[in-house]
Chain A
């Protein structure tokens, strides 16, 4: 059964719960529906919405985390994205940026292209991250565990990965209505 049996929470619900706990932290959001949902739930200038370059969210976040060591950097990623840029788990694990929180919304499908299955149903990405050298990793399914673990990660030194099992449901969302160069400028000013 896909996704993981018993997963009731949608990505948008999980994302909304996390965004409530964030204020002015830089957030890098991967391409596809995650960016579109985050834009609809709570658009903030500290959000960097990706529209392409799949697989790169964690590497962009790593660049921000290294250049801004005093800011806690959050990445909203997906299972397909992590699988595509899996080498970056190793780079993060080796460099060990303390200010790096990697949230992976794992719905086991490529949701933006028609729900073709990924392989995250049989590859536990949080275990890969742990083996690569992430300091804290957690896998959660329920909303209350999600909130508890995320709050905990905000207090701890990373790098941390919070893998959230979510269902395939997608919000009724439009595209991100910002021009990419404006996303760059706005994000740069917001995290100065």
Chain B
């Protein structure tokens, strides 16, 4: 399991310096670490977080938005009509609820279609694993800066330490 502080440090090391989002339990440890480092600005909706990140990007920051995969539905219009059209990169750190069909009912549909959903939106994505973590982050940094669009890092339960292990 990846420790939350190591994960946050790795994001800072690739240059990410503005963090916002809406919490999910899988992301609880990461958000707690970000708050301890005074790096996290809480948003009330995922599309608000995406728009805030866009403003921060245009002000010279490298932004990341944390959200549950259901939040991708909420942010769809902002991601397409703002980030994609205006060529504004954003790192999406998305918890994959409903992964392999094991979760509460509200997560099962989005959990099943998540990769196809991102493919349809032409948002490049990878699923984080402990083995490939440094490679995954390197790929993220290269892809957001080269393509100037949102890129998603999917996180399944138990890969990064949460609040309640």
Knowing A68-B59, A91-B43, the reply to whether A59 touches B52 (Cβ < 8 A) is yes
Interface pair B81/A53, CB less than 8 Å apart: yes
Q: Nearest A residue to B58 by beta-carbon distance?
A: A188
Cβ of B132 to closest chain A Cβ, rounded Å: 31
Residues of A near B41 (CB, < 8 A) are 66, 95
A67 to B85, CA, bound (A): 22
Interface pair A184/B55, CB less than 8 Å apart: no
Interface pair B48/A88, CB less than 8 Å apart: yes
Q: Nearest A residue to B148 by beta-carbon distance?
A: A181
Binding site for A on B (CB under 8 A): 18, 20, 41-45, 47-61, 63, 77-78, 80-82, 85-88, 148
Q: Contact mask A87-104 → B, CB, 8 Å, 1/0?
A: 110110001000000000
Cβ of B34 to closest chain A Cβ, rounded Å: 14
Which single member of B20, B48, B63, B81 contacts A87 (CB below 8 Å)? B48
Knowing A52-B81, A191-B58, the reply to whether A183 touches B51 (Cβ < 8 A) is no
Cβ-based interface call for A192 (8 A):
yes
A91 to B48, CA, bound (A): 9
Could you list some 21 contacts between A and B, CB below 8 A? A28-B55, A48-B58, A50-B82, A52-B85, A53-B51, A53-B82, A54-B77, A55-B47, A59-B47, A59-B48, A60-B58, A61-B55, A64-B56, A66-B41, A85-B47, A90-B44, A180-B87, A181-B87, A184-B87, A188-B58, A191-B59
Cβ of A56 to closest chain B Cβ, rounded Å: 4
A63 to B58, CA, bound (A): 9
Which single member of A51, A62, A95, A192 contacts B85 (CB below 8 Å)? A51
Q: Nearest A residue to B63 by beta-carbon distance?
A: A63
Cβ of B130 to closest chain A Cβ, rounded Å: 32
A28 to B58, CA, bound (A): 11
Question: Looking at chain A's contact residues, is the secondary structure mostly helix, strand, loop, or mixed?
Answer: helix
Interface pair B86/A183, CB less than 8 Å apart: yes
Please indicate which of the listed interface residues B50, B51, B87, B148 has the most CB atoms of chain A within 10 Å of its own CB. Answer: B51
Interface residues of A in 175-192 (CB under 8 A from B): 180-181, 183-184, 187-188, 191-192
A56 to B57, CA, bound (A): 15
A91 to B55, CA, bound (A): 15
Knowing A28-B55, A51-B81, A180-B85, the reply to whether A56 touches B48 (Cβ < 8 A) is yes
Interface residues of A in 138-192 (CB under 8 A from B): 180-181, 183-184, 187-188, 191-192
Q: Nearest B residue to A67 by beta-carbon distance?
A: B59
A183 to B51, CA, bound (A): 16
